[in-house]
Structure 1
Amino acid sequence: MSGTTQQLTSSGRFDAPSDLIAVPAEPTPKHRLQKGMTHKKLCQRIRLGHGMGHGSGYLPWLILRRNNPSPYSNQVATSMPPLRRGAYYYSRGEYHTALLLLWLGVRDLREQFPLWPIAHPHPLDGTPGTAPIQRPWSRGLLDIAREAGIDHGYEIGSGVPYVASLDLLATAPLPGGDRLAGFSSKPIVDPTQEVDWRTLERLELERRYTAAIDCSYFVSSSALIPKLMAGQLEVWLDASTLYCAPHLITWAGEFAHYLNASLDLPINEAVLHAARTLRLTTAEAWLLFQHCAWTQSIDIDPSQRILTSYPVRPGGRAMRDDLRRRFFGDTWP
């Protein structure tokens, strides 16, 4: 090594020059995270509460992360004020279906809901604000798959049973008690479109699972509601609970009264008139308009293009009741 000398010490070792850096003889292997589900990971996710809870305390079984994007779907991770938490939707169709169900006024909406492979408590057990009811445990999906003659499946590279999940599980507060409806959102835009066999098997297992817990079941696509309606509901979403302006909640009823008394006026004139009467700012008045539209205290049809230079076009309440009956068998106040 040119320009460098080493000195022999009394211990018989060479002192390395101060300008040299020690390099390991062999490179240290880079630590790699183990892929796939293991029994240890499964237990850890259960201990953390994934797939359990209700309302704002629910934690989805699957959560969107930067390392699990889909090449086929437009995924959405967003705050959902009616749920008082963030939510994770693995396709735009799921998100639009969630918007519709929340606009219908469901009590709860749980996305990526696990269909546990073994027997487990009924999904309605522990629902806040309801009287406790003794319900039989739900059958595990392993048992249901065995009965149907369908391969349940295991996690890749392990003997751990796969934990399937339902895209959306909605709870409706019917007069006779809570009612469940499950939704599976698939990118099916044409009824004649060919669907692979394994997807059909998965849908059949979901159908059998929901039937076993007395739950309605629907397979939907992004075409469940028109894009125009989905976009309108998204505009109203932030004002749905007025979490962003809680001081306006006490004005909502009176604001709706003024607008319902001015249905012959264009929307923009009616909103400004209510703002002047109630001494609200223009921004506050429009926020209240969106809130009242979401709650349907103003009967307005979200499937129609809303032009503020024209009067309100009614029809939202009738549509909401029709969809409630379609999905849950009845409507509610």
Structure 2
Amino acid sequence: MEEQLQKIWHRSFAHYASREQERLENLFIRRGRALKTEIYKDMSQRRRLYRTSLPPCDANQLLNLYPRLKEQLAVSGDYAIWTVEERFNYIQNIVSILTSLSKFKLSNTSGNVTWNEILRWWLDHHTAPKKPSVSQISKWHSYISQNFGYRFNWGLGSIIALAIDEAFGGELVESSLENWSQTGLPWIVFWMKELIVWGTLDPVAAYLLAKAEDVTTRKQAEELAQTYYHYISERESEPNEYLNAVNIKNWVEQSYSSVERHLPIPKAPNRINVNLLKNFSKAPSKNWRVVPVEIGDDIQWFDLAGFPLAICQKPEKWQSYFLNTYDFMLDAENRFVSSKIYV
């Protein structure tokens, strides 16, 4: 047994390392010195490589691409007033350029769909030409997480780090909202990671989804964001300043109650007249808990088992998020739906 243990020891890494310790240590130190004195002599280059958080080979590729990508990022000062199509094309273009690098290359999609179509569905599912089937949804979400949420956002973070390094001449500066403008990048670049994470083309909606407890859907957040744009357009003349994170943060804080922290949202009508879709003459109860389902300009009222009981035209100033903040009761005898806010 002792002989076998000795053989095992002589084949172990620890045995070789103990015999070669001095030589390996010298090699390590010599290589470290060579990196500074022979391979990367320029301190500025070493610092920029470090800022990318990438291995040197990939970092050099990113440094070569950086001027072009920064130029493309800088054209979005008017993003806040762009159309949906202009917004998506801009983000799609940035994704395409950044993921051309081998480190951030997008994985292949499955089925008859492209990464552009998946990204379109994620950021603007209302106008997306392709949408996943029930069996595809989890695969699409997985693709978004791995390729856009991880790879693209990692690359974008490296680009922003280079822009900050360039703006402050290599000085290590604490990142803050106040010094963002010195990077020379529009505010939408600051928000781009959040757009990818929350699946929206609207930075204000992304912030509401992240910070507002009462905001639970993208549609609700995007509708509430319009209140902000009306507010800020009266105070700022430059569209880029609409997306200033300080302005958005202050607006959200001011819009919340200091005690209850609720956004000032419209109230659902107390009484909504409806037309019945069922005969309730023999029903044991005339009062039914219902939920609203929007179909075009109408609302169908379903019971909790999924049966349509009534229908009406969508009331003026109706908001989709009322579904999440109100209880609705159908009075079948008097043909109206009453609303009551959640306790």
TM-score by length of 1: 0.24
Q: Which has the higher helix share?
A: 2
TM-score by length of 2: 0.24
